[in-house]
Structure 1
Amino acid sequence: MPRYTLLALLLLFLAGCTSQPPPQFSAEAQFGADDLLDGRLFGVGPEEAPGDPALLAVNDDMRAFLAERVPARASDSRKVDLILEGILEGGLKLEYDNLLTLPASEAFYRRAGNCMSFTNLFLALAREAGVRASYQEVMVPPTWTEGEHAWFYNLHVNVLVDLPGAEQVVDFNIGDYMRAYPRRLLSDEAGESHYHNNLGVHYMTHDDPARAFLHFRRALALQPGAGHVWTNLGTLYRRQGETARAEAAFRHAIDLDREPVAMSNLARLYREQGLPRLAANYARQVERVRSKNPYYQYYRAEQSYEAGAYLKAQRHLEKALRMQAKDHRFHHLMAMILTQRRQPQLARQFLRQAEALAADADKARYGNKLELLAGS
């Protein structure tokens, strides 16, 4: 299972839709944002909230851990290496556990956690050691399921370290991180919002709707414009059978930042409610925007390649490369397609580009393939 923050279920993407639901179903006039954050449906009072997680708090044990392993006069780059070594190797030997979303101090004592836990722990220790570091949000490409009927959309949080004249990404699962993925810095408040959103999803999928609601509400108090959290809140309402509230939450997510998964969830909701025209309208918008996603074109190219439809695969991949030319996997697949189409010289050009863009772990693999192509 990918080590990323699972944000919401279902299909893909976004787009404006001018059709409105009929009066008996439209939730816009019934439920505003304040109504959706009223917890009475879940038995939750207006002032009730999760406890302060003290997400990045550092205690004396953590300071002693740093003092033992990280010299105060070391360079920032060296401090980063020593903190990572202490967390992952000779010190804590932190183990990955997808179910543990923890503040820094809890991850320190339990020596386990998921990517968010690792991020909190590293960020807290790095700052305590005098290193400039921030949360970073990475927009990981969606993963489509068999038949293209569902997908997972992920926002992953890691750490960006500001070094003299350079920057370094620190990630618990750095092998899956790619420079080509869109990313942005997050404030500490937005980082904590991600933490509460993770816990909301956890409790929602473990049939604890009241606790899920509390964490979603807290996430939105920290980051009111986070469309993905409104989408998850809509999913929570939908699981409770509160269809009109679910619709309102999805529509609010779309109004805020045209949140992609909310549009897909809304299309499904309308299908289930016997509103085929609305559902079809949203589905057409979804398909149109999905076709403009380079990773969807790459997915289609892979499917066509595996089916032996090499020309069709090439056309999909040409579209993908026009939109995203920095992902080494696109160039590698094009090289494979061109090899099958008996164009070895052009295939070598794409493989060289794949090698240039790839991380060290993939460079050797591409170099070996170049040697094979050179002999053809």
Structure 2
Amino acid sequence: MSNHIAGLVHRLVEDERARFEEPPSAIPHGDSEWHKLQETGTRLWLDTGDIDQAAELWTSEFEALTTNNTLLNREVQKGGYDAAIRRIAGVLNREAPALSGEERIRETGFVLNAVHALRLVDRFDAHVSVELHTAFARRVELTVEYGRRYYALCPERFYVKVPLTPEGFLAARRLGREGIPVNFTLGFSARQNYLAACLAQPLFANVFMGRLNAFVVDSGLGSGAGIGEKATLASQRELIQLRENGASRTKQIGASMRDPGQVAALAGVDIFTLPVKVARAYREQPANGIGYRVGEDPAVDLDEDASFVHELWDVPRGFKQAVAALLDLDPDSLQPPDLPRHFAEAGFPGFLPEWSPGDEETVRRDGKIPVLEHWRDRLRDGSVGLDALMNLSGLHSFATDQQALDGRIRRFIDAAERS
């Protein structure tokens, strides 16, 4: 994107931010229950883009909010940004006529994402994670470019979310080396986060635990209890070890919580991103006693034929050796295809499998949670890892919401062009 367009869009962000004039929130101080959780070492974020809902729960113990394509789409679909979209479309039509239709949609989406995040900053004096357009997930250069652009808007408060893909590993590494704080998202296993911490060196890595538990339940593989929690705790311990060895700075986020009981069960994990529903339920009925739980492992209920689920928390010695060998190859010269090839040759073909168009279509049809029967044989033979499958499914899930957001923007852009 040219400097002219980037500067124009930056100006649009500031203009729209000023129009909303989000007043700072009067932040309640000192909630004892949240403070108890903080004392275990856990930092508290809210997982919402809804300003009013966040205001109901926000206390001085919270420090950040995180948005994503789904959460931003919910806010935009309410209609509150329709006038902004019209204004942005009009300016882009007049001052950037060379932009293609898709480029206008993406630049408009960039403005909306940035403005909404800045409103959260203004209201809560918080850090905010901002998410890139899903079309960039497999484009290193675009991820780096737009990551830089987001960060330049609010370097003191923005974290840039980069999705876990082969391209994302390399883009996150480049952004991090420029001092841009990256929230490496769509992680589902300890081994994914081990590689991320060693190679990409993001500030944060995630385990989306709720989707893991839902997969086990939906697939009839067990009750689902403890699956995501066990993966999160295993990942936390790996990251602690890397930090203690001076090999990484990455901190663990426990994401996609679905049950307030997970709050006490995971106390001590570096960060929680709490959905409003979970935060409200926990605050209404907090745990009687809460303490550091990172050294513990929950019991999991799994069928005997679900051994492939263990990949979510196992980080075998051979995998760590493969990561070390990768780092010896001059990581800054790596290209995205090098990562799947390297791990396949090291004996982990399912870690970053090369997806066919048919695989992508199956995941898209399956929806938010993969259908086991479509993948059972490949999960069992190791050609597809459950963490990789859940990652692809999550990416497609966010892409569906991105398409809905883009569709609303497109209607206004088309109307502006006709006028």
- Name the TM-score, length of structure 1 as normaliser: 0.25
- Name the TM-score, length of structure 2 as normaliser: 0.23
